[in-house]
Amino acid sequence: MRILSLGLTLLLAACASQGDKATIDWQHYAQADTLDIFSPSFSHFEVVNPDQVVLWQSPNRAVLVTVIGACFFNDSSPVLRFTSGMSQVRRDHDAILYDNQRCPISRIQPLDIRKMKKDGVLK
C-alpha cells in the first residue's frame, strides 16, 4: 500500500510541475513588434504550443516563433533546424524543420525576459 501511495504522490508531483510550465502565457510576454529576420543561433528550444516554439539565444534573450498550422506534436524531438541552415531566418520565407515536418514561419517575436523575471515567471 505504501508503494502505491508513493507512486501516486510522485505521479501527482510530475503532473503539477508539468502544469506550471504549461500555464505560462508566452504571448503575453511577446513584444508587439515582430522581427522580419533573426539569427538562428540558440542554446536550446522549448515547444510551448503545437504552433509555437521558444528559441533561447541566452538566459536573457529569447524569441517566440509561430508557425503556420500545428507542427509541434512531439515535444521530445531533440533537433530543430531551419530551411536556411544557420544563416539569417526570414519570416514568411523560411521554415522550421522538426520531427520530419516542414513548418513555415509566420511570426517571430522577441520575448520580454525582464518582465517575465519581474513577474516571477522565470528565475
Cell of 37: 529576420
- The least confident of 1-10, 55-64, 104-113 is 1-10
* Total domain count, the chain: 1
Q: Is residue 121 within 8 Å of residue 24, measured between CB atoms?
A: yes
For residue 8, tell me if it sits in a domain: no
For residue 15, tell me if it sits in a domain: no
For residue 30, tell me if it sits in a domain: yes
Task: Determine the Cα–Cα distance for residues 105 and 52; give it in Å rounded to an integer.
Answer: 10
> Would the pLDDT of 11 be above 60?
no
Q: Give pLDDT, residue 65.
A: 95
For residue 123, tell me if it sits in a domain: no
Count of all residues that appear for the chain in the document: 123
Stronger pLDDT, 19 or 39, i.e. the higher one: 39
Averaged pLDDT score across all residues of the chain: 80
Average pLDDT over residues 39-57: 90
Q: Which domain holds residue 93?
A: 23-118
Cell of 88: 539569417
Question: Would you say the C-alpha torsion 7, 8, 13, 15 has a positive or negative sign?
Answer: positive
Q: Give pLDDT, residue 6.
A: 31
Q: C-alpha angle with apex 94: 112 to 60, nearest 5 degrees?
A: 20
> Would the pLDDT of 76 be above 80?
no
Percentage above 90 pLDDT, the chain: 45
Q: Give pLDDT, residue 15.
A: 34
What is the C-alpha radius of gyration for the chain, rounded to an integer number of angstroms?
17
For residue 13, tell me if it sits in a domain: no
For residue 18, tell me if it sits in a domain: no
Average pLDDT over residues 27-43: 88
